[in-house]
Chains A and B, each alone.
Chain A
Amino acid sequence: MSEVIVPKKKDSAMGAGVKRDYQGKEKAKRDAGAAAPDHPRNAYTSMFESFRDELDEHHDRRMRIGKVSRDVTALSKKIVRKLSQPIPERIQSEIDGRVKEIAELLETIQADVQGANRYRYPLICLEEFVEAVSFAHYLRHQTLMTPGEAQEALPADIRLTAPRLRLRHLRPHGRDDADDGGDDAKRTILADMQSVSSMLQISPTLGGKTNVFAKKLDIMIEQVRKVERLGYGVAVRGNERPKGWMPDLNEGFGGSDDIAMAD
């Protein structure tokens, strides 16, 4: 009763607390791996045990990939936010750092997504990543990145799949206008967006599991409309504005009287 229990340092990495029974004595740790000895075995027990191991392996892999995917997504989004034209030295080095981080992250799951497993687990992060690199590519060269170039830009031996590449092309260009405001390069950006949009509308729609592509296509069309409206605003009233004026994307949405919209 009176003995003092000194908590022993556990070697577990989690540093979780020690479980005690009602007397304060340490409870024997139950090993999750081995089935409890009193567990009755039957004809199918070993079969299910091997299934359990297989499924555990699959779930672990899925968790690992999910985690990396989230991190890469976050990094890619950060890159996109920082991009502007022209790309200053400081930003470029920051982007390089992030790409390096992405490379390290992807490295860890490279083995998990080889062969048949490539399509088994969702890797949406790659879409985000290609959005980032293809946006940068567009700012530098004013051309649309080809699938081959995108694959080269990917710092890991992971195969990009066709639909993935495609989805990505939609977003960066939907975003150009938001970031650049369609300033003096307005003519090109608008025309470029229009041609990307027509290209994607002409080529056959990809199904995918939940028809994501069709949804994104709708969003893209909307984005193009927005920029068309801006282009119109600049064309009509551009001369009345002071030099360097940028159209506000929110103009023309009902409340504003700046750009008269013939609805």
Chain B
Amino acid sequence: MASDNGSGMIDPAIFEYLKAHGEEEIEVGDKLHQITASLNRSISTCQGLLSRIHSTPSSKLAPLLKQVEETGIQPEIEGVGELAQFASKYPYYKYNHRWSRSVQNVVGTILLTAWLGGMGTESRPGELGRLLTIEEIGEILKVPVNLKDRDSFHVTIEEYLLALTDITEELSRLAMNSVTLGDVALTVRISSFIKDLFAGFQLLNLKNDIVRKRVDAVKYHVKKVEDVIYDLSLRNLLPKTE
């Protein structure tokens, strides 16, 4: 009973070791929380702006995308930069679950903006229907992608794939709304794009994980668009293919 902490059974170094590691983990956790919280705010702003595509006719789309790029995506890129700088100091997979969803949302907003014709550069003007590759995403965010040779912050393939399932959902919604806005051609375009992506997803050998779950949902996005196309073709509203 008389023994206190200095009983000799425990090397005091163990205690110091545990304390140091525990404290570091708590500090890193707090800082990450702060960074991701601010990144998530930028994401919400960007997603909010982007949601206007559903009520914007194609003629007015360009200025909207410009606004999205400047006030939505730019802060996102800065947020990811801050995250990358901090997170690279620690083992990537130890903490990556803390920001994976956020990064995926950022990638999703960029992909969608670019597909609609935004994200143009001097060398490559934006055009409708352009799908950015994961490498191009990395260039825009100024972070490495699919890193394998070193332990540092990067965008993973899973995050990119999950972002793709995000944009199929958004585009399936847009397919319907663009009919309402009178742009049937866009609906047709979306339809073929989503089908191509779906065919791509089917090439993957998915295991029972989050990617499978989200990819499974893509077929409903395809179905939603097909229903719209069906309604249009039934009424002879589809543009004539020459």
A146 touching B14 by the CB < 8 A rule? yes
Cβ B146 vs Cβ A54 within 8 A: yes
Mask of B82-110 contacts with A, CB within 8 angstroms, 1/0: 00000000011110010000000000000
A108 within 8 A of B: no
Interface residues of A in 195-215 (CB under 8 A from B): 195-196, 198-200, 202-207, 209
Residues of A within 8 A of B29 (CB): 207
Stretch at the interface among A35-43, A77-85, A125-133: A35-43
Which listed segment binds A: B39-47, B54-62, B196-204? Answer: B196-204
Q: Are A144 and B9 in contact (CB under 8 A)?
A: yes
Q: Which of B15, B19, B22, B196 has its CB near the most chain A CB atoms (within 10 A)?
A: B22
B14–A52 touching, CB < 8 Å: no
Most buried by A among B93, B199, B203: B203
Q: A47-B133, A119-B93, A146-B14 are in contact. Are A59 and B205 (CB under 8 A)?
A: yes
* B25 & A142 in contact (Cβ 8 Å cutoff): no
A113–B94 CA distance with the chains assembled, in angstroms: 13
A120 located at the interface, meaning its Cβ lies under 8 Å from any Cβ of chain B in the complex: yes
**Distance, CA A202 to CA B5, complexed state (A):** 11
Q: Which residue of B lies closest to A51 (CB)?
A: B157
B26 within 8 A of A: yes
Which residue of the partner chain, among B21, B148, B199, B205, contacts A52 with CB atoms under 8 Å? B205
**Would you give the shortest CB distance from A140 to chain B, in whole angstroms?**
13
Q: In the complex the two chains form, what is the Cα distance from A164 to B23 in whole Å?
A: 15
- State whether A48 and B201 are in contact (beta carbons under 8 Å apart), knowing that A117-B93, A195-B7 are contacts in the complex: yes
Q: Which of A202, A204, A205 has the most CB of B within 10 A?
A: A204
Tell yes or no: A45 within 8 A of B by CB.
Answer: yes
Inside 8 A of A161's CB, which chain B residues have their CB?
Answer: 94
Q: Given the interface contacts A49-B203, A162-B17, A195-B7, does A44 sit within 8 Å of B197 by beta carbon? A: yes
Alpha-carbon gap, A191 to B29, bound state (A):
34
Assembly CA distance A207 to B197 (angstroms): 38
Interface residue? B131 (CB, 8 A): yes
Closest residue of chain A to B2 (Cβ to Cβ) is A191
Interface residues of B in 212-242 (CB under 8 A from A): none
A92 within 8 A of B: no
Minimum CB–CB distance for B90 against chain A, Å: 9
Q: Is B11 an interface residue (CB 8 A)?
A: yes
A118 to B151 CA separation, bound complex (whole angstroms): 10
By a CB distance below 8 angstroms, the chain B residues around A44 are: 131, 196-197, 199-200
Are A146 and B11 touching (Cβ within 8 A)?
Answer: yes
Are A119 and B94 in contact, CB atoms less than 8 angstroms apart? yes
Chain B residues, Cβ within 8 Å of A204:
19, 22-23, 25-26
A143 on interface, CB distance cutoff 8 Å = yes
Q: What's the nearest-Cβ distance from chain A to residue B146, in Å?
A: 7
Residues of B within 8 A of A (CB): 1, 3-5, 7-11, 13-15, 17-19, 21-23, 25-26, 29, 91-94, 97, 131, 133, 146-152, 157-158, 161, 196-197, 199-201, 203-207, 211
- 26 A/B residue pairs, CB under 8 Å, sorted by A: A42-B196, A45-B200, A49-B203, A51-B204, A54-B157, A55-B157, A59-B205, A115-B149, A117-B93, A119-B94, A144-B14, A146-B11, A146-B13, A162-B21, A191-B1, A191-B3, A195-B10, A196-B9, A199-B5, A199-B14, A199-B15, A200-B18, A203-B15, A203-B22, A205-B22, A207-B25
What is the interface of chain A, defined by CB distance below 8 A to chain B?
35, 40, 42-45, 47-49, 51-52, 54-56, 59, 115-120, 142-144, 146-147, 161-163, 166, 188, 191-192, 194-196, 198-200, 202-207, 209
Report, nearest first, the 3 A-B pairs whose CB atoms are least far apart: A204-B22, A48-B200, A119-B93
